[in-house]
Amino acid sequence: MGLFITFEGGDGSGKTTQIAAIKVALESRGLEVLTSREPGGTELGAKIRQLLLFGGEVAPRAEALLYAADRAQNIATRVRPALERGAIVLEDRYIDSSVAYQGGARSLGAEEIRELSMWATDRLTPDLTLLFDVPTDVGAQRVGGEKDRLEAEGLAFHESVRRAYLEMAAGEPERFRVIDAAAPIEQVTAAALAAIEPLLERAR
């Protein structure tokens, strides 16, 4: 099996930038790296992403179910096959995002949302989760251009998301590494690579 590394954080935390940088760093060592995102990592997922983020009003429970459907397709058709051939998978958002956004900020219940996604993914758990933490107001300032439906939520919503993430990280310190995403980009990348390195050493 390969390595499954998830990238989590609120909007504007820089996850997508860091995935690109880390992919380059790992591939420079001759490693196979697959990147994916949720929602939207598959053809079906791209359609779900459009509905979720730009399709108008979505009821909270419908939102949770759509994310779970996207996740089920992504894990079954892209992530598991890559892991089975020994690749490193860098995933932009995973179950913890649903727990933070729908379970926490939408008040649907963390355990209920987690169990839904665990069922959808046949209980695939990351080897490592990097949480890119940034103050809510800083994240909001970083989000530019047209905002999607979740990015456009108020600061109170995004503060609830951040709080839920930090609570999860505190509860599972063996899986999470919290990274100060307010630091310069190069420092953030270095911290992320330092967190990944022990996994690479064990995999050798």
Task: Give residue-wise pLDDT tens across range 113-128.
Answer: 999 999 999 999 999 9
> Is 15 marked as binding a ligand?
yes
- 151: pLDDT confidence band, cut at 50, 70 and 90? confident
Residue 162 in tokens: 């951040």
- 41: pLDDT confidence band, cut at 50, 70 and 90? very high
> Is 30 marked as binding a ligand?
no
pLDDT of residue 55: 85
> Is 11 marked as binding a ligand?
yes
| Cis peptide upstream of residue 39 (ω within 30 degrees of 0) | yes
pLDDT, mean over the chain:
94
Q: Which residues of 13-49 are buried (b: 16+ CB within 10 A; e: fewer)?
A: bbbeebbebbbebbeeeebebbbbbbbbbbebbeebb
Backbone angles phi, psi at 91, to 5 degrees: -110, 120
CB 8 within 8 A of CB 97: yes
> Is 16 marked as binding a ligand?
yes
> Is 154 marked as binding a ligand?
no
> Is 13 marked as binding a ligand?
yes
